[in-house]
Amino acid sequence: MSKIFTLKVDHSQSIDGIPNIHKINLEDYQDLSQVLASEKFSFSDKIIARANFSQLLKFDFITNDLNIPVLSQRMINLTQIDNIKEVNMTPLYLVDDTYLKPFSKTDVLDKKIVINNGFYSLDFIKQLDFCNKESSIFRKLRSKPNEIGILKKPVLNVPDLGFPDLFRIRESISYLFITERIKNIVELNYLKGFVFEEIETTTS
């Protein structure tokens, strides 16, 4: 049986605690993590943000203050996660953060600015019902004592057809799960920026 892992970003890649990708304005994309987790929404265009170009190309899973997973084209090509039906790839247009004013007065990007468009975020069309609520550990919310609460330690039910290579679950959009196949590809190809934690699974 294939093992399942949570996929987290390695924050040691950030210099002085500043994410390698960050908002152009503080008010930009405040709820972007919630938007990307919505089954009713799909991006049709792109996300624009600033990036530290001196650090960006060193990593394949990028720290950011948009609260979204950002992956390199290299990682996507090697793992072929863009073939997963439940996930859309949303392109990022990354502006060199050494430019103080990337936009004109008409909100058009200055043509002189260097842009990197080799990174993508994940737009999950569907969150899956793999969570074993009896075995998982939740923290109850005082405001909603009769509901499940915040997921602290997930335990997943193994589906009959096996796990997809990349997925989220309904109980928490903060967890990003991958299979052992994806983990092995990342490690064999020396992709950087990833932290893995094995997750308990159970069969009925």
How far apart CA 74 and CA 51 sit, in angstroms, is 18
The pLDDT of residue 101 is 62
| pLDDT tens digit sequence for 62-104 | 999 888 899 999 999 999 998 888 888 889 988 888 876 655 5
Total-model pTM: 0.82
Two tokens, residue 154: 């997930």
The pLDDT of residue 103 is 55
- CB atoms < 10 A from the CB of 10, how many? 14
The pLDDT of residue 111 is 65
| pLDDT at residue 195 greater than cutoff 80 | yes
50, 95 in Cβ contact below 8 A? yes
The number of angstroms, rounded, from the C-alpha of 16 to the middle of its chain's C-alpha atoms is 22
106-110, 173-177, 194-198 — most confident range: 194-198
* Residue ranges of E strands in 65-142: 70-72, 87-96, 115-124, 137-139
The pLDDT of residue 175 is 92
pLDDT category of residue 108 using cuts at 50, 70 and 90? low
How far apart CA 140 and CA 159 sit, in angstroms, is 27
Average pLDDT over residues 170-181: 92
| pLDDT tens digit sequence for 32-59 | 444 444 444 444 467 888 899 999 999 9
Give the full edge-to-edge strand order of the sheet including 4-9.
155-157, 194-202, 4-9, 172-179, 166-169
178, 4 in Cβ contact below 8 A? yes
- CB atoms < 10 A from the CB of 85, how many? 8
Q: Angle at CA 167, nearest 5°, toward 196 and 185?
A: 50
Provide the percentage of residues in the chain whose pLDDT is more than 70.
82
Q: Angle at CA 5, nearest 5°, toward 29 and 89?
A: 40
169, 128 in Cβ contact below 8 A? yes
| pLDDT tens digit sequence for 129-172 | 999 989 999 888 888 777 777 899 999 999 999 999 999 998 88
Task: Identify the CA nearest to 133 among candidates 155, 152, 163.
Answer: 155
How far apart CA 166 and CA 148 sit, in angstroms, is 24
